[in-house]
Structure 1
Amino acid sequence: MFKFDFQLDDEEEDESLHILIHSQSSKATNSALPLSSDDNVDKRCHHITLEELIKSLPEEISYSPLSLPFIQTPILRRDLYDARFQLYNKPNDENSASKEGGENEDDGEKYVDAQTDLIPGLYEGGLKSWEGGVDLVEVLSSVGDNQSEEKVGEWIRGASVLEVGCGTSLPTHYLLRSLLSTPSSSSSSSSSIKTTFHVQDYNSLVLSLVTLPNLVLAALPFLKPEVLHAPQDEEDVEDVIPDLESPGNLALSPALVEAFQNLLVERGIDLKFTYGHWTGLADDLVKDGKGYDLVLTAETIYAEESNASLLEVLRSGARKGDKGNAKESIGLEDSLGDLKVNDDDWQKKPLSESAQGLTLVAAKVLYFGVGGGLSAFLDRVENDGGWWKGVKNWTKGVGRKVVQVGW
């Protein structure tokens, strides 16, 4: 059975999870499934609107909090077993292939309970949360003052963000929540100042089963209590507000979904969703030509065969500006310790005012069983005419880094 390494699986979530994130050693094996020929893979990408994706939401979801030591409020994530339940209990007439370019629900059943996190050409591990996504949240949280999400929200407001290979989309979840945490008085007047969050995953089912539900959960603290569920006669409206630090259930009523959409409009937030191959995404980004202020990706360099198309996305996705000038070398036995986030310009002023787009890549030094690794990836960045610089480094357990790349 192949595993990338440890993941933040539902069975691993408890109050001490944040300790495991930075201390657990690799459990990966060398028995990876053989990579399929890229020639047989559909290289298109497909865009789906929020309104279309909302139709896939169930009537109710269950969620659990992910407590992290560097943020004050846990991140709420949909439970993986609940996503499985939704998939398995769809009516038969909904288990057929969806619109052109869509994903067959039967294919989802092949991987949602598979004993592997990688089925080349079918599934790329998007249903689970990986520690690289947590690492990006930690780096992004450093923008705030004393772990202030409002500071992060002010930093991201008015910017455009692309998360590549989003999966459960922890970084976008955190940024959306941070933006919504800014005082409504300062952002209600900024509904004309648009903030865009564009999330992409290989699988459309990942977007519907975990990505969108998690983004709804990110907005949960900012919805009016009465849309959560109608209070009983004997309880106050405040009593219906969920405990955001405990597991719970959320009824996705039409009123709640509408309130979620209205909140996005009121705060000038645009959500975009894309699934499919990176080659198609890169082509679309080139055609669009605008670029994003922030491009994020985590745990996406595990297969060297796909790095070329990933680099095309990263190079085409970031907004162009003055080239940076930063290079440094990396070794597999890096012993520099836990580096602090550099006090760079991108942390000092609103992201939308930066001279060029910022691209952050979170990855392990090595991916056992599939041959990918950070050193080979960064060599490829340099050979492609790019540069990179280290942002943060973790050496306990499996070595991990967040790096900034650019061209």
Structure 2
Amino acid sequence: MTFSFGFQLDDDNQGVTTNTTTIDTNVDESLHPWTDIKVEDLISQLPPLLSYSSVDIPHSSITPIARRDLFDARFQLIDADEDQAIISGDSDLIPGKYEGGLKTWECSVDLVQHLHQCQYDFREKKLLEIGCGTSLPSLYAYRSMLEQSGPKNAVIHFQDYNLQTIQLVTFPNIFLTWYITQFNKGPEGEIEINETIIEQFKQHLRDVNIELRFSYGAWKAINEHYDYIFTSETVYRTASIPTLVELIESSTHKDTITLIASKSVYFGVGGGVREFSDYVTSKGHSVDLAWSSKGSGVVRHILSFKL
């Protein structure tokens, strides 16, 4: 069975998913366990050429955020003879198999706008993005640190269900953010990857003292506290909300800023803001509304979670 709900990829709209997306429920949900992956392993997966364009952040002065072109990531999947369900894009979400991470989801753009308005300082902080995908919020945080002088002394932890997502878009997007900021490149183009550039990137991370961490697989309690936790469009299924909250609980201290960007409802699959809020309050935690969209269509929200 395939359900539809209110947002879809529009390849002509900067690859931002906004209208109608499909979810394939005919799949055996044997979940991959949470697994960490080293930066060196991700560097080894970079292709010789990266094609990129940029996502505009509407109604703001934010410089567009570069990310790898979707077609470029899919070509690499084809070359690697990966799962055709992921390559074809016929289903944007396949529970337990592919959670839509190759695409940029609308609420992640909302979250970037919100972070910019709040003017958070990410230096000397630890940040976790859950279900990161193309990872616009963390890319914004990373770039904002690069634009400030001196050591950053920061940790950014990127988590997604799919290893392919981290290999094909998350890490390449981080690399692109560094490269474009470092060399003042334009909002779209191609980058040739060679050993010289890779060594410059590694040296940059050492110089500014930014630790990049990566994990993939099913959510679980990790018992490590972060100063910022971000997640976008991860509450679309009611069944996944308890494990998401368990992960957030285990990663939060009393001063953690935890932001959840979501549509009010995801038709056909049961999740949404109300379901998430009800579960959080049933656990004795608080959730506040930080922002809501205006206008027609499905309303989008940003929620703030507190223990």
> What's the TM-score once normalised by structure 1's chain length?
0.71
Once the two structures are superposed, the pairs formed by residues 96-111 of structure 1 within 5 Å of their partners are 106-107=82-83, 109-111=84-86
Matched, 1:275 2:216: yes
* Among candidates 144, 151, 172, match of residue 138 of structure 2: 172
Partner of 2:239 in structure 1?
Answer: 305
More helix, by proportion: 1
C-alpha deviation, 1:28, in angstroms: 5.2
Decide which moves more: 256-265 or 166-175: 256-265
Matched, 1:135 2:110: yes
The 1:402/1:60 distance shift into structure 2, 3 A limit, reads: same
CA contact (8 A) 1:301 1:377 kept: yes
User: Following the alignment from structure 2 to structure 1, what is the Cα–Cα distance between the partners of residues 116 and 234?
Assistant: 21
CA contact (8 A) 1:2 1:117 kept: no
* Among candidates 124, 131, 147, match of residue 158 of structure 1: 124
Matched, 1:125 2:136: no
Matched, 1:6 2:7: yes
Partner of 1:219 in structure 2?
Answer: 178
CA contact (8 A) 1:386 1:405 kept: yes
C-alpha deviation, 1:66, in angstroms: 1.1
Matched, 1:242 2:233: no
C-alpha deviation, 1:3, in angstroms: 4.5
C-alpha deviation, 1:2, in angstroms: 4.3
C-alpha deviation, 1:166, in angstroms: 0.2
Q: CA-atom RMSD, angstroms?
A: 2.1
User: Following the alignment from structure 1 to structure 2, what is the Cα–Cα distance between the partners of residues 9 and 160?
Assistant: 33
The 1:3/1:194 distance shift into structure 2, 3 A limit, reads: farther
CA contact (8 A) 1:365 1:400 kept: yes
Matched, 1:57 2:46: yes
* Among candidates 286, 301, 306, match of residue 387 of structure 1: 286
Partner of 1:79 in structure 2?
Answer: 69
Partner of 1:295 in structure 2?
Answer: 229
Partner of 1:349 in structure 2?
Answer: none
The 1:217/1:261 distance shift into structure 2, 3 A limit, reads: same
Matched, 1:366 2:239: no
User: Following the alignment from structure 1 to structure 2, what is the Cα–Cα distance between the partners of residues 307 and 314?
Assistant: 10
Matched, 1:260 2:201: yes
Aligned length: 304
* Among candidates 70, 75, 84, match of residue 60 of structure 2: 70
CA contact (8 A) 1:297 1:361 kept: yes
Once the two structures are superposed, the pairs formed by residues 21-36 of structure 1 within 5 Å of their partners are 26-27=19-20, 32-34=23-25
The 1:4/1:59 distance shift into structure 2, 3 A limit, reads: farther
C-alpha deviation, 1:5, in angstroms: 2.8
C-alpha deviation, 1:371, in angstroms: 1.4
C-alpha deviation, 1:276, in angstroms: 0.3
AA of the residue aligned to 1:211:
T
The 1:366/1:242 distance shift into structure 2, 3 A limit, reads: same
Matched, 1:112 2:87: yes
C-alpha deviation, 1:273, in angstroms: 0.3
The 1:371/1:195 distance shift into structure 2, 3 A limit, reads: same
C-alpha deviation, 1:268, in angstroms: 1.1
User: Following the alignment from structure 1 to structure 2, what is the Cα–Cα distance between the partners of residues 292 and 9?
Assistant: 34
Secondary structure of the equivalent of 1:366?
A: coil
CA contact (8 A) 1:162 1:198 kept: yes
More strand, by proportion: 2
User: Following the alignment from structure 1 to structure 2, what is the Cα–Cα distance between the partners of residues 203 and 248?
Assistant: 26
The 1:366/1:264 distance shift into structure 2, 3 A limit, reads: same
User: Following the alignment from structure 1 to structure 2, what is the Cα–Cα distance between the partners of residues 304 and 137?
Assistant: 25
Percent identical residues: 37
The 1:315/1:85 distance shift into structure 2, 3 A limit, reads: same
CA contact (8 A) 2:156 2:211 kept: yes
User: Following the alignment from structure 1 to structure 2, what is the Cα–Cα distance between the partners of residues 7 and 136?
Assistant: 18
AA of the residue aligned to 2:77:
L
C-alpha deviation, 1:8, in angstroms: 5.3
Secondary structure of the equivalent of 1:142?
A: helix
Runs of 4+ in 1 over 6 A off after TM superposition: none
The 1:2/1:210 distance shift into structure 2, 3 A limit, reads: farther
User: Following the alignment from structure 1 to structure 2, what is the Cα–Cα distance between the partners of residues 253 and 11?
Assistant: 30
The 1:9/1:128 distance shift into structure 2, 3 A limit, reads: farther
Unaligned runs of 5+ in 2: none
CA contact (8 A) 1:363 1:401 kept: yes
The 1:4/1:76 distance shift into structure 2, 3 A limit, reads: farther
CA contact (8 A) 2:62 2:116 kept: no
Partner of 2:31 in structure 1?
Answer: 42
AA of the residue aligned to 2:99:
E
User: Following the alignment from structure 2 to structure 1, what is the Cα–Cα distance between the partners of residues 8 and 110?
Assistant: 13
The 1:9/1:250 distance shift into structure 2, 3 A limit, reads: farther
Secondary structure of the equivalent of 1:278?
A: coil
C-alpha deviation, 1:242, in angstroms: 2.8
CA contact (8 A) 2:78 2:87 kept: no
**Structure with the greater alpha carbon radius of gyration:** 1
> What's the TM-score once normalised by structure 2's chain length?
0.92
CA contact (8 A) 2:21 2:92 kept: no
